[in-house]
């Protein structure tokens, strides 16, 4: 069928209308569009957050890397400072050691000079050939190098040969302990008059340390007007263990006075049966205990101790020079 154009322009021909939906569909479509829009906004927000987090993570990683680098540099610098301080301490120790060695060498030279200046008759038999042999060149060189001889830093005794020998023995004892030097140990034993063992030398050294005080105390009591044997014995019994040592330090007049006091005293000369005694060694517990001699065996005696009355062992045997007459405390 043919249609004229004029027919198409006729107002009676209606234009196509937009598709319409029922109200319930329209509302559902609107909700779907809104949800779709919200989802787009959410995805856009997450994308922005993700990009920001990625940028922040990279920045934090760079900062962390820089911090680690700085920490490593600080650690290396600290180690270098510690090493530098250690080297400075070592240099200071070496400087102090050199100063001490110079002082010790000077004191040793003064001591040797004092020994050489003493007349040979004043030395007597104090320096034997064995001691001279032990004090050889090797010991002398080691003595000059050691830093443990500070006792020789004092003024060397120029008027007392016995004290000079004692200091030499003490120095050799310290040398033997510090450097494990056998020759020094033997020389110290000969000079100090003990067995060549560290324990014996140490014990003998402790005894000789009492010598200056013993001589001083004994001379003080002897110088008192009207000194009696009891007054002398009250002082001398404390040093009975080193009697031979302090006796050699006293003058002839002093030893004669002691002998005279003993002869005029009622105190018996020797320990025998019935004597009330105590041990002569002040380092023994029996030094302050009371005992009675109950049997004489010749060179030895049997002593019954008061403090042992309640024990199974009540007596023991001793040489006479190991005992002293007991004095009330």
pLDDT at 32: 85
Query: Can you tell me which residue has the tokens 């559902």?
Result: 28
Residues 322, 324: Cα–Cα separation, whole Å: 7
pLDDT at 148: 41
Could you tell me the two tokens for 251? 């003058």
Per residue in 11-27, pLDDT tens? 555 555 556 667 767 77
If DSSP codes are grouped into helix, strand and coil, which group holds residue 305? Answer: strand
Element (H, E) at 318: strand 315-319
Average pLDDT, the chain: 75
Is the pLDDT at 90 greater than 70? The verdict is yes
- Length of the chain equals 329
Residues 224, 46: Cα–Cα separation, whole Å: 111
The CA distances from residue 180 to 63, 193, 256, in Å, are 60, 20, 44
Q: Are 154 and 118 in contact (CB under 8 A)?
A: no
Is the pLDDT at 298 greater than 80? The verdict is yes
More confident residue, 77 or 129: 77
Is the pLDDT at 213 greater than 60? The verdict is yes
pLDDT band with cut points at 50, 70 and 90 for residue 122 = very low
Residues 153, 96: Cα–Cα separation, whole Å: 15
pLDDT at 139: 46
Q: Which of 23-27, 124-128, 148-152 has the highest mean pLDDT?
A: 23-27
The pairs formed by 166-171 with CB atoms below 8 angstroms and a separation of 24 or more are 166/191, 166/192, 166/208, 166/211, 167/111, 168/111, 169/205, 169/208, 170/205, 170/208, 171/143
Is the pLDDT at 49 greater than 90? The verdict is no
pLDDT at 117: 62
pLDDT at 146: 43
Numbered ranges of CATH 2.30.30.140 in the chain: 269-329
Is the pLDDT at 63 greater than 70? The verdict is yes
Q: Which of 323, 228, 312 is nearest to 282 (CA)?
A: 323
CATH topology (fold) of 269-329: SH3 type barrels. (2.30.30)
Per residue in 261-273, pLDDT tens? 877 665 556 788 8
Residue 293: other Cβ atoms inside 10 A = 20
C-alpha torsion sign, points 190, 191, 195, 198: negative
More confident residue, 142 or 162: 162
């Amino acid at each position: 069928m043919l249609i004229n154009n004029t027919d198409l322009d006729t107002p009676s021909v209606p234009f196509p209308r937009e598709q319409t939906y029922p109200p319930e569909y329209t509302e559902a479509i609107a909700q779907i569009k809104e949800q779709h829009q919200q989802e787009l906004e959410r995805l856009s927000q997450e994308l922005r957050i993700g990009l920001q987090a990625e940028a922040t993570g990279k920045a934090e990683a760079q900062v962390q890397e820089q911090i680690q680098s700085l920490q490593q540099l600080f650690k290396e610098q600290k180690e270098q400072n510690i090493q530098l301080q250690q080297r400075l301490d070592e240099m200071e120790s070496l400087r102090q050691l050199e100063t001490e060695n110079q002082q010790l060498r000077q004191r040793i030279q003064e001591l040797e000079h004092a020994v050489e200046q003493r007349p040979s008759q004043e030395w007597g038999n104090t320096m034997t050939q064995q001691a001279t042999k032990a004090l050889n060149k090797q010991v002398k060189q080691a003595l000059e190098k050691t830093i443990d001889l500070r006792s020789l830093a004092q003024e060397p005794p120029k008027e007392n040969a016995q004290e000079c020998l004692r200091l030499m023995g003490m120095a050799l004892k310290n040398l033997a302990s510090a450097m494990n030097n056998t020759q020094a140990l033997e020389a110290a034993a000969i000079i100090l008059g003990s067995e060549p063992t560290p324990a014996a030398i140490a014990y003998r050294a402790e005894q000789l340390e009492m010598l200056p005080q013993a001589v001083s105390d004994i001379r003080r009591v002897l110088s008192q007007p009207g000194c009696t044997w009891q007054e002398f014995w009250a002082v001398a019994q404390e040093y009975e263990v080193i009697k031979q040592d302090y006796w050699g330090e006293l003058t002839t007049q002093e030893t004669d006075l002691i002998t005279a006091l003993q002869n005029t005293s009622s105190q018996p000369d020797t320990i025998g049966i019935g004597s009330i005694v105590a041990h002569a060694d002040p380092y023994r517990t029996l030094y302050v205990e009371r005992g009675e001699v109950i049997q004489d065996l010749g060179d030895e005696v049997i002593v019954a101790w008061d403090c042992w009355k309640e024990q199974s062992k009540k007596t023991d045997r001793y040489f006479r020079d190991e005992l002293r007459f007991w004095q009330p405390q």
